[in-house]
Structure 1
Amino acid sequence: MRTPSFMPYAAGLAAALILSGCAAEEVSLAVPTPVTTPSSRTAEPPSTTPATTVDPVVARIPQAARADTQEGAEAFAKFFIEQVTDSFVEGDPDLLSGLFVDDCKTCINFRKTASYFESKGQHYAKRSFVTEHTSIRRFLHDDPVKFVEVAGHEIEVDIVDRTGARLESTKPNDNISFVLAIEFDEHWTVSAVHVEQR
């Protein structure tokens, strides 16, 4: 049985999951200035350390998935699919913030699904997709768009409400692949996702 096009691996959910999302918070890691107390001696002025700002998106990406290499591309693709599932488990669309371009339609629908779960107080009981392997489909140095396959299988998981009561469950799927088009600009981002039944 084919799954709905707007949510390629959440079979069994109502087709009414047409939804919306929001942006990530910025994180700033600043070194605090030491506090001086009055004393009889003249205190040396405190040394100042410039504030260090960490990109909130890069901070969430595992080290292995940050490199502009084939290995980095595969690690990022696997990480992205895990984040999609985690956004359903947590009911948190912000787990996907900054990881895809604005016109990635499948990515937008993944985020809308997580937003729907958030608004309804529902979530997956656990991850539904198990990665079996990743592989490079196309990685040409003169083409900024790289293609990576994340192959695996889906397991049946319960969709539960705030109390943990089961509402329905996803359908298992033994052979499914996500082919991600990704680009590197300071970090990898997803520009398209194609779902294949193997």
Structure 2
Amino acid sequence: MAKYIDVHPANPQPRIIDGVADSIRKGGLIAYPTDSCYALGSRIGNHDGLQRIREIRRLDDRHHFTLMCADFAQLGQLVHIDNRVFRAVKAAVPGAYTFILPGTKEVPRQLLHPKKKTVGVRIPDHTVTQALLASLGEPLLSSTLLLPDEEEPLTQGWEIKERLDHQVDAVLDSGDCGTVPTTVVDFSGGDPEIVRVGAGDPTRFE
């Protein structure tokens, strides 16, 4: 059974957040809130966690996973980014955007798109997510909690606990976090291509 963990949305209790981060380090898979909607998260390099996310969402090997980063220092270790793209991304974060860029050697091969060798990265604007990333001390492998054959992501912690009770190790709940996923911008070809219009304003990249 999954642990149900209630945390304050504006002042998340450090002891609770540290416990969740420790669970991730030990190989746990969690459901957690972000600035766009709930997501599934596990440690980068956790093969079991990756497979569990694939099974829950029924994803194929062409799916772009997202690496959730606390800041640009972490993001810059994971993707190749030139000065022009750097400026465009820097102006938009933290926020509800996912950027697709060529991955570096720091990214496990199974997380990269098999042909493009790209990966999604983002820096969230969410107090609880940032607290978790700070405690963890490293980026988090992440995927929107959108179940197969459903049009909208799950948004209520109690419902996630009920539906995924035997598929995740913990559900971190800090209240509503919206139903709209991130806006996805693909910079892998140099010029921005808006792959999905979501919570982030896409006009800055048009």
Q: Which has the higher contact order (CA 8 A, sep 6+)?
A: 2
Return the TM-score normalized by structure 2.
0.26
Return the TM-score normalized by structure 1.
0.27
